[in-house]
């Protein structure tokens, strides 16, 4: 029930955040991947899914940003972000749950998912939809 509610909420929020056709040519999609070196689920995702994402049509249409914390025991904080992406930290704050996937469209976080299940069940379908919409709306 909780997962269904989260998915429904994400779809509602996501459906209302894509830029209008007037801005589609300038749209940019960014994926932020938050992880830690001692996270076993991060290693599983990196081994099984990272290259598949980056080599996919969706992966070629996005900018992928890897934000790596120091350990699972410490939150990912502002110092882990490159200066040009501090706006992400300011929007989401410190993050303890990894792997975490953030979808940003035109500099706004529109979706966040935790874990490998959240990636495959929620994040990846939303990313595919965002890229398809962007490509369909290009002049």
Domain count, the chain: 1
Q: In this predicted structure, what is the pLDDT of residue 25?
A: 45
pLDDT digits over 75-99, tens only? 999 999 999 999 999 999 999 899 9
14 band by pLDDT with thresholds 50, 70 and 90: very low
Q: What is the CATH number of the domain that holds 35?
A: 3.40.30.10
Q: In this predicted structure, what is the pLDDT of residue 7?
A: 42
The sign one gets for the Cα dihedral 106, 60, 131, 47 is negative
Helix (H) or strand (E) holding 110: strand 108-114
Q: In this predicted structure, what is the pLDDT of residue 26?
A: 57
Q: Considering the entire predicted model, what is its pTM?
A: 0.82
Range of the domain at 65: 2-17+25-136
Q: In this predicted structure, what is the pLDDT of residue 22?
A: 37
Sheet holding 63-68, edge to edge: 63-68, 29-35, 100-105, 108-114
Q: In this predicted structure, what is the pLDDT of residue 27?
A: 74
Q: In this predicted structure, what is the pLDDT of residue 11?
A: 41
């Amino acid at each position: 029930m909780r997962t269904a509610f989260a998915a429904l909420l994400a779809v509602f929020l996501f459906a209302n955040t894509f830029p209008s056709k007037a801005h589609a040519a300038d749209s940019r999609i960014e994926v932020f991947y938050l992880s830690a070196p001692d996270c076993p689920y991060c290693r599983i995702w990196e081994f099984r899914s990272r290259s598949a994402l980056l080599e996919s049509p969706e992966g070629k249409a996005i900018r992928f940003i890897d934000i790596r914390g120091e350990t699972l025991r410490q939150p990912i904080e502002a110092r882990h972000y490159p200066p040009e992406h501090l706006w992400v930290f300011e929007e989401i704050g410190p993050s303890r749950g990894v792997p975490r996937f953030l979808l940003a469209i035109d500099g706004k976080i529109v979706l966040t998912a935790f874990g490998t299940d959240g990636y495959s069940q929620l994040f990846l379908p939303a990313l595919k939809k965002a890229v398809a919409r962007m490509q369909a709306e290009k002049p």
